[in-house]
């Protein structure tokens, strides 16, 4: 069953929690065409306000996970629907766990050579029996993409994880998904870096308090420029709450 899809500031998001998201991925695997799993967070909601191409891509996605706590809170405040935060970095291992049990084949694309390699090793160790049928680092030249598409299609993978960061991975998915014979393609940002141990996730206390975004900001200040979307998002949500 498809989850209920709501719109926050005109941007679609699915009302799911982690187990519903995994269940939706499983139904997508049974489907007849490849569909995208895209993370929705305040930054992406703000970007989509002035980016009709991104908005269109989001509308066509098979699953839009509430990746950022800001999206969950906005949906609650505006009484649009109930959902739980489903971080893309947690959905990916949850899909791998299911894939190991069900025999779905996965392909890992993105990250540096070492990060990509190490992420594969970590996943194999963590989920015995997981079939990783292909891996490719994320620094290929544009002219090498045709070969990559062939490699992915020949691998027989049902699930493709793309870790190129945003918006690169969304643009890549929009361009190449129609040529791929996979069923599910999730954009996973820096998840391979976390799996490989190159980048640490926030300590449990920060995660529990939904302050992972703050921790990442403090430990990687280059993200500050990207995060200027947050106060704008909060202001637009409050304004919508007041005028309703």
Interface residue list for ligand UDP (CB under 6 A): 110-112, 115, 138-139, 163-166, 168, 189-190, 192-193
115 or 152: CB nearest ligand UDP: 115
Decide: 92 and 169 in contact? Cβ < 8 Å: no
113 or 238: CB nearest ligand UDP: 113
6 or 132: CB nearest ligand UDP: 132
22: burial class by Cβ within 10 Å (0-12, 13-18, 19+)? Answer: middle
Q: State how far the Cα of 147 lies from the Cα of 153, in Å rounded to an integer.
A: 10
Smallest separation (angstroms) from ligand UDP to the CB of 74: 20
Smallest separation (angstroms) from ligand UDP to the CB of 163: 5
Q: State how far the Cα of 58 lies from the Cα of 41, in Å rounded to an integer.
A: 12
Task: Please calculate the CA angle 96-99-101 and round it to the nearest 5 degrees.
Answer: 115
Residue located via tokens 């040529």: 179
56 or 219: CB nearest ligand UDP: 219
Q: State how far the Cα of 185 lies from the Cα of 90, in Å rounded to an integer.
A: 15
Smallest separation (angstroms) from ligand UDP to the CB of 142: 11
Smallest separation (angstroms) from ligand UDP to the CB of 128: 25
154: burial class by Cβ within 10 Å (0-12, 13-18, 19+)? Answer: exposed
131 or 186: CB nearest ligand UDP: 186
Smallest separation (angstroms) from ligand UDP to the CB of 196: 9
12 or 87: CB nearest ligand UDP: 87
Smallest separation (angstroms) from ligand UDP to the CB of 187: 8
Report residue 12 as tokens. Answer: 């679609």
Q: State how far the Cα of 15 lies from the Cα of 9, in Å rounded to an integer.
A: 15
**Could you give phi then psi for residue 40, rounded to 5 degrees?**
-110, 125
Decide: 164 and 193 in contact? Cβ < 8 Å: no
């Amino acid at each position: 069953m498809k989850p209920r899809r709501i719109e926050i500031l005109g941007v679609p998001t699915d009302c799911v929690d982690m187990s519903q998201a995994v269940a939706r991925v499983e139904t997508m695997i049974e489907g007849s065409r490849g569909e995208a799993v895209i993370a929705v967070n305040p930054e992406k909601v703000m970007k989509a306000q002035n980016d009709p191409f991104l908005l269109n891509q989001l509308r066509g996605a098979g699953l839009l996970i509430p990746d950022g706590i800001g999206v969950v809170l906005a949906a609650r405040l505006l009484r649009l629907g109930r959902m739980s935060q489903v971080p893309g970095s947690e959905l990916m291992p949850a899909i791998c766990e299911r894939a190991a049990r069900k025999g779905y084949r996965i392909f890992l694309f993105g990250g540096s050579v070492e990060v990509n390699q190490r992420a594969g090793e970590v996943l194999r160790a963590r989920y015995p029996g997981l079939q990783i049928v292909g891996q490719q680092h994320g620094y290929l030249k544009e002219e090498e993409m045709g070969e990559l598409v062939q490699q992915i299609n020949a691998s027989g993978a049902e699930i493709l994880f793309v870790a190129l960061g945003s918006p690169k991975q969304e643009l890549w998915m929009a361009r190449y998904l129609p040529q791929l014979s996979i069923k599910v393609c999730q954009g996973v940002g820096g998840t391979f870096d976390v799996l490989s141990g190159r980048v640490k996730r926030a300590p449990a206390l920060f995660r529990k308090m939904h302050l992972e975004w703050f921790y990442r900001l403090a430990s990687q200040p280059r993200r500050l420029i990207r995060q200027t979307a947050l106060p704008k998002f909060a202001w637009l949500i409050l304004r919508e709450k007041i005028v309703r």
